[in-house]
Amino acid sequence: MEEKTYNILLTVILVIIGVALMVGGGIIIHNLVNDKKIADENKDVVDKFVASTKQNNNEALDKDKIKDFDTKGPKNLYDPNNFDGKDSGSIIKNVKMENYNVIGVIKIPKINLEYPILEKVTKRSLEIAVAQLDTQRGINNPGNTTILGHNYRNNLFFAKLHLLKAGDKVIITDVSGRVKTYEVYEIKSRTPSDTSYISRETNGKVEISLSTCNDDSTLRHVVLAREVER
C-alpha cells in the first residue's frame, strides 16, 4: 500500500515537473520569437527610413534643378525655418511605425545598436522602439534632443547603454538624410525626479541625451553626447 502511494506521488510530481517545463519552455520560445519579430520590424523600418530620406533628397535636388528656386543646393527638409522641430506633421514623406512617425535613426556601433526614433514617448512607442522625449530645434540641430529607450533584459533598445564610455560614438540620421556623429562626454546616474539633462543649455552646440532605467528602475542611466566637430 505504501509503495503504491509512493508511486502515485512520484507520478504526480513528475507530471507537475513536466508541465512546468513545458509551460516554461513555451514562454521562453514565445519571448524569443517575439524578440526576433521586434528586431526584424525595427530593421525593416530603419531600412525604409534611410531609403525614404535618400529619395526625399533626390527629389528636392531635382526640383532645384528644374525650378531653380534655391541656388544654394538641395532644400533641407529638416530646416528649422520650415520645421519647428516638434511638429512631426511637417515631415515630408514620413515613414511610420504603427501609428508613430519615424523622425530619425540612431546607431551606436559600440553596442551594436540601430533603431528608428519615434516622434513621441508613450507606453506603446517604448515597447516597439526608442522615442524622442524632448527637442529644442529638432534632431541634428543646435540644442539638445533627449531620446528614451527601455532597459529590457532581452538586450533590446537601451539595455546595453550602461556599457558606453566617454569617447564612444553615436550616429544619428534625420529626416533630411543628414548623418551626424556624436561623441559621448558624460555618463551619470540620475534620480527619476532629476530632469535637468532634458532641457539643458548647450551654448549653440548640437547635443543629445540618451536615457534609460537601471535594472531595478530606481535610477536613470543618462548618456550625454555632442556633435563631433570637423
What span, in angstroms and rounded, lies between the C-alpha atoms of 169 and 13? 54
Please choose, from the candidates 99, 116, 105, the residue with its C-alpha nearest in 3D space to the C-alpha of residue 41: 116
What span, in angstroms and rounded, lies between the C-alpha atoms of 61 and 30? 47
Check: CB of residue 140 under 8 Å from CB of residue 178. Answer: yes
Q: Taking all residues of the chain, what is their mean pLDDT, rounded to a whole number?
A: 79
pLDDT of residue 58: 58
Angle at 182 between CA 179 and CA 186, to 5 degrees: 160
Amino acid making up residue 111: I
pLDDT of residue 79: 41
Below-50 pLDDT ranges, the chain: 60-92
Provide CB contacts within 8 A for 152, sequence distance 6+. Answer: 159
Amino acid making up residue 196: S
Check: CB of residue 79 under 8 Å from CB of residue 203. Answer: no
Cα-Cα end-to-end distance for the chain: 86
pLDDT of residue 68: 39
- Rounded to 5 degrees, what are φ and ψ at 217? 65, 15
pLDDT of residue 12: 72
pLDDT of residue 83: 39
Amino acid making up residue 155: N
Burial of residue 148 (CB within 10 Å: 0-12, 13-18, 19+) is: buried
| pTM, rounded to two decimals | 0.73
What span, in angstroms and rounded, lies between the C-alpha atoms of 71 and 68? 6
- Rounded to 5 degrees, what are φ and ψ at 192? -55, -25
